[in-house]
Amino acid sequence: MSTPGRGLHGRVLDTLGPAITAGEYPAGSVLRTDELAQRFEVSRSVMREAVRVLESMHLVESRRRVGVTVLAECEWNVYDPQVIRWRLAGSERPRQLRSLTVLRSAVEPVAAGLAARLATPEQCAELTECALGMVANSRGHRLEEYLFHDVAFHRVILTASGNEMFARLGGVVAEVLAGRTHHDVMFEDPDPAAVTLHVQVAEAVRARDAERAERLTREITEGALQELDILAP
């Protein structure tokens, strides 16, 4: 997905990033740039660029006379989309999915409330369109089409909130929803109750009813929490 192979250093990252985020090198492990360069058969300059990127993600720290030290998980930039993707692809997937779903449960209701106040007429229209698309594909194992509209729906909500930080979570939510459809148990058609809630959120936003939009969205995200067996009120 996104950007496969944007240069040699990117290839290195595609291997090293997932390895580190998967915990293959325990915190405190020390790597040497030269050794890594040999292992990946690239020049030191390329390897250094890769290390610099990992460093900017706070996955590693490079110190003179010591080497490249792998940092503890609590230091990582867990909001970096690249890091999120690496973790979603590895063995940490379930935990990452839980973290993200909890984050969603905090952010999306507030975003929906703001969207109800700030959404443009175009965004309102887009929203109802998405909701209708979800309804139309909610039966007959049209999972891909359903997912497409579901992702679009949440993206519009987050964008319409007018908050750049919320908007930036659109990609994350997309990956969570896609993950649920593709990897996890989702053989059956989506829950009709969830579909209805989306339609109602679209209505509430169009009606500028912030409180209602927030409450309904909270119901949606609480459903997502329950799917993952995360304790709810």
Nearer to a second copy, 113 or 133 (CB): 113
Give Cβ neighbours of residue 45 (< 8 Å, ≥ 6 apart): none
Helix (H, G, I), strand (E, B) or coil at 221: helix
Among residues 14, 19, 39, 48, the one that binds DNA under rule CB under 7 A: 48
Q: Which partner from the list a second copy, DNA, none does 8 bind, CB cut-off 5 to 8 Å by kind?
A: DNA
Please work out the total of residues on this chain that contact DNA, with binding judged by CB under 7 A. Answer: 24
Stretch that binds DNA, among 1-9, 73-81, 200-208, 213-221 (CB under 7 A): 1-9
Q: How far is the CB of 141 from a second copy (least distance, A)?
A: 33
**Going by DSSP bridges, is the β-strand pair 30-31/60-63 parallel, antiparallel, or unpaired?**
unpaired
Q: How far is the CB of 151 from DNA (least distance, A)?
A: 28
Strands (E), 75-151: none
Helix H or strand E encompassing 70: strand 67-70
Q: Which partner from the list DNA, a second copy, none does 32 bind, CB cut-off 5 to 8 Å by kind?
A: DNA
Among residues 15, 43, 91, 226, the one that binds DNA under rule CB under 7 A: 43
Q: Are 56 and 83 in contact (CB under 8 A)?
A: no
CA distance linking residue 118 with residue 19, whole number of Å: 42
Q: How far is the CB of 33 from a second copy (least distance, A)?
A: 12
By the 10 Å C-beta count (0-12 exposed, 13-18 middle, 19+ buried), 80 is classed as: middle
Stretch that binds DNA, among 42-50, 106-114, 133-141, 163-171 (CB under 7 A): 42-50
Q: How far is the CB of 5 from a second copy (least distance, A)?
A: 13
Helix (H, G, I), strand (E, B) or coil at 62: strand
CA distances from residue 123 to 30, 188, 198 in whole angstroms, order as listed: 50, 30, 15
Tell me the two tokens of residue 7: 């240069």
Q: Which partner from the list DNA, a second copy, none does 167 bind, CB cut-off 5 to 8 Å by kind?
A: a second copy
Nearer to a second copy, 54 or 134 (CB): 54
Q: How far is the CB of 142 from a second copy (least distance, A)?
A: 31
Q: How far is the CB of 176 from a second copy (least distance, A)?
A: 12
Sheet holding 67-70, edge to edge: 30-31, 67-70, 60-63
Q: Which partner from the list a second copy, DNA, none does 139 bind, CB cut-off 5 to 8 Å by kind?
A: none
CB atoms within 10 A of CB 68: 23
Q: Which residues bind DNA (CB under 7 A)?
A: 6-9, 31-34, 41-46, 48-49, 51, 62-68
